[in-house]
């Protein structure tokens, strides 16, 4: 038999549950729901002009941990590696919300695509002032090294993906218009 105290407690719990459930109701609809189209112009970053930045301070991120492998191009990098990699390495091309490429003028001053003998040819004009964060000039050999290490042909490299790189037949120096490389 159930004691009177237990029966009373059970009855109160059932009654309280019913009252609380009735208070919940449907969420308020204050307007149209967000869609991919309505969010297309919302930026997820806070771009700042160089003049607003100062040396020193602390950067706190929401990343739980970083991989000891900080090479974005290597197969044992993590999603966090990608997030941090773009903070300290050149990003030549970004994309608008509509998917149109935007070439970073700090690194590229022009980019052309043409078809030659049935093959695609992409020609980048590298900004003569473009350097890595340590001051090393960026030249055509940077593109060649990325291709060689990412096309899957050399077993010394473990590329994260060979997609696209495995279809490139060559990377060559073009006409020099700035500093010699």
- Ordered by start, the domain boundaries in the chain are 68-167
The predicted-structure confidence for 37-56, as pLDDT tens digits, reads as follows: 777 677 666 778 888 888 88
Instruction: Considering only CA atoms, give the Rg of the chain.
Output: 28
Instruction: Using CB atoms within 10 Å of the CB of residue 105, give its burial: 0 to 12 exposed, 13 to 18 middle, 19+ buried.
Output: exposed
Per-residue pLDDT, 128: 94
Task: Write the pLDDT tens digit of every residue in 95-120.
Answer: 988 889 999 999 999 999 999 999 99
Would you place residue 161 in the very low, low, confident or very high pLDDT band (cuts 50, 70, 90)?
A: confident
Residues written for the chain: 181
Entry pTM:
0.59
The distance of Cα 69 from the centroid of its chain, to the nearest Å, equals 17
Higher pLDDT, 59 or 118: 118
Is 68-167 in CATH node 3.90.76? yes
Does position 10 have pLDDT exceeding 50, yes or no?
no
Percent of the chain with pLDDT over 90: 35
Per-residue buried b or exposed e for 36-68, using 16+ beta carbons within 10 Å of the residue's own CB: eeeeeeeeeeeeeeeeeeeeeeeeeeeeeeeee
């Amino acid at each position: 038999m159930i004691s009177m105290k237990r029966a009373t407690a059970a009855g109160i719990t059932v009654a309280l549950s019913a009252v609380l459930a009735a208070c919940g109701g449907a969420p308020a609809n204050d307007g149209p729901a967000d869609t991919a189209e309505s969010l297309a112009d919302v930026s997820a970053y806070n771009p700042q002009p160089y003049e607003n930045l100062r040396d020193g301070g602390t950067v706190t991120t929401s990343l739980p941990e970083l991989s000891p492998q900080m090479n974005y191009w290597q197969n044992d990098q993590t999603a966090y590696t990608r997030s941090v990699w773009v903070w300290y390495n050149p990003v030549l091309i970004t994309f608008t919300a509509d998917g149109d490429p935007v070439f970073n003028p700090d690194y590229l001053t022009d980019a052309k695509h043409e078809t030659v003998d049935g093959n695609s040819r992409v020609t980048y004009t590298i900004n003569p002032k473009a350097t890595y964060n340590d001051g090393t000039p960026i030249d055509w050999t940077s593109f060649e090294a990325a291709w060689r290490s990412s096309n899957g042909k050399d077993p010394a490299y473990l590329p994260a993906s060979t997609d696209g790189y495995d279809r490139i037949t060559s990377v060559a120096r073009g006409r020099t218009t700035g500093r010699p490389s």
